[in-house]
Chains A and B, each alone.
Chain A
Amino acid sequence: MEASGSADDFIPAALAAFGVEADEIELAVMRAAHELLWPPILELLSLDTGSAASEPAPDLSQPPRR
């Protein structure tokens, strides 16, 4: 689905579900963010990372534990 198309349905529906109001300018900002972020998010969601290496509570000041 095109992000621009889904934004027209998705954003108002999500706002309504959360009980959050938005004016036209805010909606335009959200649409722009959605068009930018949603396609890679869908790509990410399509990845099965269930068997990927995990690193619980990583110490980001250090390399990963081997």
Chain B
Amino acid sequence: MSEPLDLTLCGQAAAIAAGELDPAELLEAALARIEARNPAINAVVETFPERSREMLAAAPAGPLHGVPVVIKDEWPLPWRAQRFGAADMLAKTAPGESGPYRALRDAGAVIVGVGNMHELGASSTGNVSVYGPARNPWNPERCPGGSSSGPAAAVAARLVAGAVGADGVGSIRYPATYCGLTGLKPTFGRSAMDGHHMADLSTTIVSGPLCADAGDCRLLGSVLYGEELRTGDAAGLRIGVIEDEVSEDVAPAVREACEKAIEDLRAATDGEVRKIELPELAAATLATVLIANSESLGGVTPERLNNLHPELSPLGRGLLKYRLMLPAVAAVKAHQLRAMARQRLADVFEEVDVIAWPTVPAVAPPLEAPLVELPSGTLTADAANVRGGALANLTGIPAISVPVGSSEGLPVGLQLQAAWGRDELLLDAAEALEGANGRRWVEAAPPAAEPTEV
């Protein structure tokens, strides 16, 4: 067989279940590959081989029995408190059992490492972290995406076949796109979140899978959801697209790849493409930023802000202090915009099954200067990316990013969004798209992770 670490998550689980692959050997191979490949990408910030071996020794015969995975530095583990990619996260944390940890453990998975992340989850780029930035396996001088930078880079570099990320404002879908993966943002509340330091505060964050393809996301997602994400049928898919100034402000190569993918998806499902209107989209983007940036402020006091850890980045310190200045009236209006956007989407989803647009408008920017060139001019990647990522977090709907092309040697992703609870349809649609393009993009490997035969 191929090198076991180059198998998909489903392939690894199936090979172990069939007795064709020794999970102890797979774990040691994963640890060795992390040691060999991780220095170039800084995706995994900590391994704990003895803990991993103990997990394997105690692993039940679940759907991920013996399969190594990485988890983002956003949840506690029984032997490690999360650091949120930061020297100072304004919240008390301690080692413990988080929901994602329990879900993985009970499924028989083996947590082999903790994935890097953007400091405080505050950016779509992944270029700032207390551990140093993670790097994109497709080009180490480019951003891996954030904030789930490490989980994405780890899967793209084939250190593991699956990783658990978190998505508060696009933070699974951005790195999925930049690293050429499939990333699922679940319907709010459907996936395991307890144990997260903002689980009782946040109305935008969810846990979710980052994997090579939709089948792997279905498997890891089922574990995180605590229920089987059943395969359905995307036949006759009604695909909604919007045409407005912001939605068309996309790099030409990204636009071309996404338009082709939408046509491929339509043809593969014998579906149809319908134009829709979302006039609240621009305002909804700001509303998401305001809500997501204010829900975490309970622990903020002037005294605390004057005594931030010196190793917190200047960017993190400045943004935390700026959050104090966000007007309360704007936050109130943001919640009203959320209601309006949800109502609009409920109407739209009577007309279409999914809404499709580029996950981000340009490929991964340079780590040193994360700017993107768009038809409207030069923007920060964050300002550009949030336009496409925010709506799902604001309204609670599920979304998925699927790799559909390449530009400048870097991956391009298409985002599909569906109505509340229709997460399975997104996976069905992603699988239909994979079938339409011969799995070309989900099987593409970055140079550092070319599959090897043994």
Contacts and interface: CB of A to CB of B under 8 A. Distances in A.
Interface string A26-66: 11111001101100110111010100111100111111101
**Dominant SS at the B interface?**
helix
Given A18-B324, A41-B327, A25 B286 contact: no
Contacts of B321: 15, 20, 22, 26, 30
A39 to B, nearest CB: 10
A63 B420 contact: yes
B315 A62 contact: no
Nearest to A11: B325
A21 interface: yes
Given A18-B324, A40-B286, A44-B330, 19 more contacts: A20-B306, A20-B321, A22-B318, A30-B318, A33-B318, A34-B325, A36-B383, A40-B282, A41-B326, A44-B283, A54-B335, A58-B338, A58-B396, A60-B188, A60-B203, A60-B395, A61-B190, A63-B342, A63-B345
Interface in B260-305: 282-283, 286-287, 289-290, 302, 305
Interface of B: 187-190, 203, 282-283, 286-287, 289-290, 302, 305-306, 314-315, 317-319, 321-322, 324-327, 329-330, 333-340, 342-343, 345-346, 349, 380, 383, 395-396, 419-421
Nearest to A27: B318
Contacts of B383: 36
Contacts of A37: 286, 289, 326
Contacts, number: 121
Given A36-B383, A63-B420, A21 B318 contact: no
B305 A44 contact: no
A47 B342 contact: no
Nearest to A29: B318
A13 B154 CA distance: 44
Contact of B318 (A25, A52, A59, A60): A25
B314 A26 contact: yes
Contacts of B290: 41
A46 B8 CA distance: 51
Nearest to A46: B333
A19 B302 contact: yes
A52 B340 contact: yes
A52 B338 CA distance: 11
B339 A55 contact: yes
Contacts of A21: 306
A58 B286 contact: no
Nearest to B316: A29
B330 A63 contact: no
Contact of B322 (A33, A61, A64): A33
Contacts of A30: 318-319, 321-322, 325
A64 B336 contact: no
15 contacts: A11-B325, A15-B321, A22-B321, A36-B383, A37-B326, A41-B286, A44-B286, A53-B336, A54-B336, A59-B189, A60-B189, A61-B421, A63-B345, A63-B419, A64-B339
Interface of A: 10-11, 14-15, 18-23, 25-30, 33-34, 36-37, 40-41, 43-45, 47, 49, 52-55, 58-64, 66
A14 B302 CA distance: 12
B315 A29 contact: yes
Nearest first, the 10 A-B pairs at minimum CB distance are A29-B318, A60-B396, A55-B339, A61-B189, A60-B188, A26-B318, A25-B314, A49-B336, A30-B322, A64-B342
Q: Most B CB atoms within 10 A — which of A20, A34, A54?
A: A20
B305 A20 contact: yes
A49 B321 CA distance: 28
Contacts of A28: 318
Contact of A55 (B187, B305, B317, B342): B342
A54 B330 CA distance: 15
Contacts of B380: 36
A61 B188 contact: yes
Given A54-B339, A63-B420, A64-B346, A18 B396 contact: no
Contacts of B325: 10-11, 14, 30, 34
Q: Most B CB atoms within 10 A — which of A34, A43, A52?
A: A52
A62 B319 contact: no
Contacts of A60: 188-189, 203, 395-396
A36 B330 CA distance: 15
A14 B323 CA distance: 11
Contacts of B317: 22, 26, 29
A61 B396 contact: yes
A30 to B, nearest CB: 4
A60 B421 CA distance: 10
